[in-house]
Amino acid sequence: MSNEEQPLKPDRRIPPLLRFLGLHLALGSAVGIAVVSLSILMNLGGLRQLLIETGDPVVPLVLLYTFNIITFSNVTMGIGIMTMPWDKPGSGPDA
């Protein structure tokens, strides 16, 4: 088999835009987890007391963490996308 007949190897790298969004997803998830954890630890609005007094605190905790992670991840991805440059440097009409 010569070099011309070898099948092309698939490119297994993650596309840069997906890596960019994944990074912002991870950052937003970390912020969401931190916000809920600090809210519970500082007992904001009596949240910790409500969780202690409830019979099954798993459901409220899952809901709090899930929806805060979704919210903050979307915010960070949106900020990341909106702050991206329009064109590559040096490719505009002024170049």
* Extents of the domains making up the chain: 15-82
How many angstroms separate the most distant Cα atoms in the chain?
73
To 5 degrees, how large is the angle CA 31–CA 37–CA 38?
A: 90
- Read off the pLDDT of residues 29-65 as tens digits, 9 standing for 90 and up: 999 999 999 999 999 999 999 999 999 999 999 999 9
State yes or no: pLDDT of 23 exceeds 90.
Answer: yes
pLDDT band for 2, please (50, 70, 90 cuts).
low
pTM (2 decimals)? 0.75
